[in-house]
Structure 1
Amino acid sequence: MAKDLAANLDLNLLRVFVVLFQEKNTRRAAERLHVTQPAVSQSLKKLRHHFDDPLFVKVTGGLAASSYAERLYDVVAPNLDALFSGLSYLDSFSAKEMTQSVRIALSPPAMMALSGALILRFKELAPKAELSIVTWNSQTLEELSNGDTLLGIHYGDVLYPKSIYRHQLALLTASVAVRKGHPLLKEKEVFEQLADYPMASQIIPGWNEKKVVAAQVLERHGMKLDVGFRAEESAALVDVISQTDMFMPITSLFPKHRYNDIAYPNVQVPEQDRYYPLYCYHHLRHRKSPLIEWLYQVIQQLVEEQVALNADK
């Protein structure tokens, strides 16, 4: 008769297994679980006995999972996440009473447009909590997976693992920014004329490090674009376009009201290249979290307010 693997199995052991599988290192697993390294080793010993399998073997740099552990993870991880998410959803949520630390990663354009407003709104609605805002980088998806970062805001075509879930926050419209007095401002409608001027392109980690999206758009329409400057920092790009004839691709999230020396020509981007979705990313285990739902609503409202403010410019 087959052994009943679910009988007398402590769910906390399964949680240790999932974290250990993700980290492949007992020390890092202990840090994430807020327990000692010997405690993790003791839990692993119990797991090995229960499943009658070594589960992990020592290799250079950490641990390697057995084939049984890989199959076990595929079964346990999504179901355990769903269980803990469901249990957390049962708790009542009050932003006013929240005391935990919240870490959010914003892509550079979102950082430029939302970080100040987000901090002010957070202090107003959750005065006892601590908010940390970091720039989205090459480690963000891993940090969303391991819990170091709770939420991330980025464009839609980011390659993300199955453990990450996303919601669409908004559909942003493409445009460009130039210095006041730029020749493009004399045109009633602008698109093909963009090829006559160099572009200042923002580097957005996880999206366009190896490609320049605006250049690809113009190439699809038979135009060749000169990329004159690239940077990740929004302030550097704004400084460059305010003193040169370069233009900077932006979206309807760009905070126009902050810059008196920047103007916006009437760019008629073809419809198939005009819209860019902005997404909220988080781990699947938080899919029904009241905190995540509240944060999503707060950020979505701030995005809508910024887009509406730009529509008046």
Structure 2
Amino acid sequence: MAMISVANISRIDLNLLIVFQCLMNERSVTRTAAVLHVTQGAVSSSLKRLREQFHDELFIRTGAGMVPTRRALEIAPKITEALTAVATIVDKRPQFSAESSNRVFNIALSDDIESYLSPRLVNEAKARGLSVKFAFHQSNSSLWKTSLADPDIDLVLCSEPKELTSHYSSQVLFSSSYSCLYDGPRLNLKSPLTRDEYLMHEHVRVSYDGRRGFVDDLLESEGVARRVSASFTHFSGALATLAHSDVIATLPTFAALSYARIARLTVSPVPIFVPAFRVFMVWDVENNDDPHSRWLRSFIIDTTQELQRGSLTPT
């Protein structure tokens, strides 16, 4: 067991880590102050102390909010884990027993996240000898409120949920970016793709409305027209076409790797700039202290450690 440096721990105020966690989730000093019921000045003061403690800016103010630095993204999973452990220790209420409960947890999520997470939750529950079960329901960043309006839904997993309010609690689960997915032998393409190869081949588009996606916007800004042969509103819907057609898809890296294993497809980094995004857990604020909800959130955090570390990358 690793030795704990009491001197190092004593130098940091636990409340600063709570501010860090909230800033990571909210990306806003104003919203962080509201969540923690403190002034914006108090949050700014805590951020200053955090910067001094970690010798890094941690969060950069931009027009899109407080954007975390690389260092902040590196330490965020460890801080989440530490705060979760402390919360478990100090909470003296009866804990939920997943080993003996037959509860079915209802999780609403988009199918790209489902492709990665559902087999891991099922397998991890079996490995731990748990009696709980899971039911997965379709949702996304636009429909998450509709999902949570169903009293049977325990939580939602989606990327960058729109219109979060104080009626809901949220936590950043992990960050990701995008990869290309295609049948390498069929197209005679290896990995990594070149930009010319990416642009010369036909694509399948996956977007909420099936009409336009972020790749269309990125290429259009460069004056390049994207060659799209088919559009889908769900990632899983594109899988059969990818396996049997001469096309390329651009989708979240974790989903690309999951689908590649299922259909023996090839994964490549995207040869143009693509943005990163965050995947959130969102639940009704009234369930913050519910033992079933708390257990489920902790279990999902444990099961996504690979993504939180950023160690899942296309090869």
Are 1:287 and 2:258 counterparts?
no
- Cα distance between partner residues in 2 of 1:296 and 1:221: 41
State the partner residue of 1:245: 246
- Cα distance between partner residues in 2 of 1:256 and 1:310: 14
C-alpha displacement of 1:160: 4.2
Gaps of 5+ in 2: 1-90
- Cα distance between partner residues in 1 of 2:108 and 2:194: 34
Question: What pairs up with 1:256-295 in 2 under 5 angstroms?
Answer: 258-259=261-262, 261-270=264-273, 273-295=274-296
Are 1:211 and 2:206 counterparts?
no
- Cα distance between partner residues in 1 of 2:181 and 2:210: 21
State the partner residue of 2:67: none
- Cα distance between partner residues in 2 of 1:130 and 1:306: 23
Question: What pairs up with 1:1-313 in 2 under 5 angstroms?
Answer: 90-125=93-128, 127-136=130-139, 140-181=144-185, 185=189, 190-191=194-195, 193-204=197-208, 211-254=212-255, 255=258, 258-259=261-262, 261-270=264-273, 273-305=274-306, 310-311=312-313, 313=315
C-alpha displacement of 1:275: 0.9
Deviation larger for 302-311 or 210-219: 302-311
Identity of aligned residues (%): 14
Conserved? CA contact 1:202–1:234, under 8 Å: yes
- Cα distance between partner residues in 2 of 1:89 and 1:107: 35
- Cα distance between partner residues in 2 of 1:113 and 1:253: 6
Conserved? CA contact 1:198–1:245, under 8 Å: yes
- Cα distance between partner residues in 2 of 1:222 and 1:300: 41
Closer, same or farther: CA 193–299 of 1 in aligned 2, 3 Å: same
SS state at 1:141 partner: helix
Deviations 1:246-293 (A, max 9, x none): 1111222121562463112342342xx331211111111123444333
- Cα distance between partner residues in 2 of 1:119 and 1:152: 17
- Cα distance between partner residues in 1 of 2:191 and 2:104: 49
- Cα distance between partner residues in 2 of 1:223 and 1:301: 42
SS state at 2:131 partner: coil
State the partner residue of 1:57: none
- Cα distance between partner residues in 1 of 2:149 and 2:263: 41
C-alpha displacement of 1:177: 0.5
Closer, same or farther: CA 123–111 of 1 in aligned 2, 3 Å: same
SS state at 1:311 partner: coil
- Cα distance between partner residues in 2 of 1:292 and 1:269: 40
Gaps of 5+ in 1: 1-87
Closer, same or farther: CA 143–261 of 1 in aligned 2, 3 Å: closer
TM-score (norm 2): 0.59
Deviations 1:220-265 (A, max 9, x none): 3332213321224544312212222211112221215624631123
C-alpha displacement of 1:106: 1.7
RMSD: 3.2
TM-score (norm 1): 0.59
Q: In the comparison of the two structures, how many residue pairs are matched?
A: 221
- Cα distance between partner residues in 2 of 1:303 and 1:131: 16
- Cα distance between partner residues in 2 of 1:261 and 1:167: 33
Conserved? CA contact 2:204–2:229, under 8 Å: yes
- Cα distance between partner residues in 2 of 1:189 and 1:279: 30
C-alpha displacement of 1:155: 0.8
Closer, same or farther: CA 101–187 of 1 in aligned 2, 3 Å: closer
Moved >6 Å (runs of 4+):
306-309
C-alpha displacement of 1:182: 5.6
Q: Which amino acid aligns with 1:185?
A: L
SS state at 2:130 partner: coil
C-alpha displacement of 1:154: 0.8
Deviation larger for 161-170 or 301-310: 301-310
- Cα distance between partner residues in 1 of 2:206 and 2:164: 21
- Cα distance between partner residues in 1 of 2:194 and 2:115: 25
C-alpha displacement of 1:167: 1.0
Closer, same or farther: CA 256–132 of 1 in aligned 2, 3 Å: closer
